[in-house]
């Protein structure tokens, strides 16, 4: 069953291709073209949040000034191996753990001390992108800078009813 789940996820992602999946810097209209209409919208301090459902994922996109800056994919039972596969497909290149200083910056800014949360970073000629797997929330988040990830986590912490 678990192998089928991972295989199904990877097939979904391969069909979506990295050019049409978890792209940051897009408008709400472009995101809606990819995921469909949001099932809910709201705000957290500094961000507009839209939640979408696609396949077996709840996808939360955070917008700042009308541009997507973070996408979080949640699914019950999401594990490290599947999250790493997801990050690899989205990155379409080798992923690596961030250097200790960058990881420390993320952990300090967000207050995340659990070593269970895992971070990955990959770089293209034009940008650096990261991902964070949170096993407690069964989420993997994609962000274009550690500061954005930290800002969203802090905004959620200041508004506990907002959820992931």
Domain annotation covers residue 56: yes
Domain annotation covers residue 72: yes
pLDDT digits (tens, 9 = 90+) for 68-121: 999 999 999 999 999 988 888 877 777 888 888 878 877 777 777 777 888 888
Residue 4 pLDDT level (bands cut at 50, 70, 90): very low
Whole domain around residue 108: which residue ranges?
A: 2-158
Nearest-angstrom CA–CA distance, 123 and 101: 16
Judged against a pLDDT cut of 90, whether residue 48 lies above it is answered with yes
Instruction: State the average pLDDT over residues 51-63.
Output: 92
- Amino acid 60: pLDDT: 94
Domain annotation covers residue 6: yes
Nearest-angstrom CA–CA distance, 143 and 67: 12
Domains: count for the chain: 1
- Amino acid 144: pLDDT: 81
DSSP state of 18: G
Domain annotation covers residue 164: no
Domain annotation covers residue 121: yes
Mean pLDDT (the chain) is 80
For the entire predicted model, the pTM comes to 0.79
DSSP state of 96: B
Domain annotation covers residue 51: yes
Name the 3-class secondary structure at 61. strand
Domain annotation covers residue 163: no
Domain annotation covers residue 69: yes
Judged against a pLDDT cut of 80, whether residue 67 lies above it is answered with yes
Judged against a pLDDT cut of 80, whether residue 29 lies above it is answered with yes
Cα distances from 15 to residues 74, 80, 103, in angstroms, run 19, 22, 31
Q: Pick 153 or 7 by higher pLDDT.
A: 153
Q: Pick 106 or 39 by higher pLDDT.
A: 39
């Amino acid at each position: 069953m678990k192998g089928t789940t991972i295989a199904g996820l990877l097939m979904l992602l391969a069909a979506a291709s990295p050019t049409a999946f978890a792209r940051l810097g897009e408008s709400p209209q472009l995101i809606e073209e990819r995921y469909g209409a949001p099932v809910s919208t709201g705000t957290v301090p500094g961000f507009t949040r839209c939640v979408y459902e696609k396949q077996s994922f709840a996808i939360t996109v955070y917008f700042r000034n009308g541009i997507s800056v973070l996408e979080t994919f949640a699914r019950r039972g999401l594990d490290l191996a599947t999250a790493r596969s997801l990050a690899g497909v989205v990155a379409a290149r080798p992923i690596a753990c961030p250097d200790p200083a960058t990881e420390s910056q993320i952990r300090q800014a967000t207050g995340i001390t659990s070593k269970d949360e895992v971070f990955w970073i990959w770089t293209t000629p034009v940008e650096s992108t990261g991902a964070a797997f949170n096993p407690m929330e069964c989420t993997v988040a994609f962000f274009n800078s550690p500061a954005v990830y930290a800002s969203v986590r802090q905004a959620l912490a200041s508004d506990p009813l907002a959820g992931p």
